Copies of this chain bind each other. A is one copy, B any other.
């Protein structure tokens, strides 16, 4: 009898344990007095653009105050069909939103077993992509095995812990567009506030080297670096600056020993003269072991993966059992769809809907201290003025546009612009914000720097004003009690409403009560 509640207790502990823990000091900079003046925000598009063989890596200017002061970085990946995003990891947790497309994704979790295995002949060879033919003779003879592969599609959020390598492959027939938050101020990052991507393969440009700035700095100190001229590298060595994945810095002979392969193969690890950048084309489609896509008529990706890690306690523990198999962590759910209106948390036929994803829905978000919100406003609809109590919010426009206003602690408007498809704006903690779809529908995703972001509406059914006694409202704003009641009750909707229609007059409300 005690077992069941006990599991609950585990879950609970887990729920409790990490809240706020990981959310460390953000927004601090190194300016005088630890101040970070945000006098103005901007609707920004990516300013850095790296063309890859089969896609595009774009990033937002990390030096903009908006990012610098909130300690986040933003990247956008476009992966063409048959494109493979090479494995890499970052010095911060990542939260990925799939704007468009579908594909498969592998996250490499140290210590987890290779649980996806092809049997000798029969199962193996199941194939992704358009092509249907078997490739490579040896593929039939020796089974492939690797860690779990996860399918994703438009509207998914994918969560990745710090240091976990992952790769993505587009097996669909249109580009994947993914927007990625890197939370560099997260406590999981013990390095500095630069977003840093460590590449396991390829020879890619760093996505955050805006205008060559950081790069320049390092070039300038090349004299100093020369002192490191590795002693055993000689002829196997790399030309300076040519090779950029993490194998490049190792002595080729040492690597050859480590992998027990010949120098020729090691040179391939170091990917000399590879100009494909971080997204490469897979000719003929990528063959990997995976369950059949159809499962009794239903596509498997609709299945809820990893249900059994619903309680995160064991996962948490497991995470740090790096030696040997840790079932729970290894099967942990990293993905959840918030694009489907059917799972909306706030829904009005007329005005739009909002879905939220937090650590209650996706437990791994506890570790990452991140959450997300997906919304749609119909034409002329408004999301009520509100503020985020406990986090920053990065608002990315998926489709359409909206007018957004943001107000700081001195009552000053620090943002008052249209936010258009493909642009984003960062709304700092506690700053008040209102969104209004004007001439077209507006869809957005918000990345939030707390695993259970709390919103405090300033108007509507759950607003701050409703929580105040009539006379406090009346005295605060020097209005009559009638007007106080109007301010409290005239807007009866929660969160979203259509402005033209209005929300009913005060007298209507009276009838309702």
Q: Is the CB of B36 within 8 A of A163?
A: no
How many subunits of this chain does the assembly comprise?
Answer: 3
Q: Which of B407, B455, B464 contacts A322 (CB 8 A)?
A: B455
Question: Is residue A379 within 8 Å, beta carbon to beta carbon, of the partner chain?
Answer: no
Contact B483 A265 (CB under 8 A): yes
Interface stretch of the complex, out of A95-103, A244-252, A294-302: A244-252
Contact of A293 with B by CB under 8 A: no
Residue contact A198 to B454, C-beta cutoff 8 Å:
no
- Taken together as a complex, chains A and B put the C-alpha atoms of A227 and B406 apart, in Å, by 14
Verify if A68 is at the interface (C-beta below 8 Å from B): yes
Contact of A258 among B15, B116, B146, B384 (CB under 8 A): B384
Contact B87 A139 (CB under 8 A): no
Is A408 an interface position by the 8 A CB rule? yes
Interchain nearest-CB distance for A249 vs B (Å): 3
Please state if A268 and B477 are interface contacts (CB–CB under 8 Å).
Answer: yes
Known: A40-B228, A504-B260. A190 touches B23 (CB 8 A): yes
11 additional A-B residue pairs with CB within 8 Å, beyond A16-B18, A18-B21, A228-B414? A5-B6, A14-B16, A36-B191, A70-B190, A138-B482, A167-B476, A249-B413, A257-B382, A258-B491, A265-B479, A323-B345
Q: Mark A62-97, 1 if CB is under 8 A from B, else 0.
A: 010000111100000000000010110101000000
Specify which of B265, B313, B462, B464 is in contact with A200 (CB 8 Å cutoff): B464
Contacts A228-B40, A513-B143 known; A405 to B254 CB distance under 8 Å? Answer: yes
Q: List 24 A-B contacts (CB under 8 A).
A: A16-B313, A19-B319, A20-B188, A21-B187, A26-B191, A27-B192, A33-B63, A110-B454, A135-B481, A138-B481, A146-B470, A162-B389, A190-B391, A190-B392, A198-B430, A218-B410, A228-B415, A228-B416, A230-B416, A231-B416, A261-B486, A286-B475, A320-B358, A321-B360
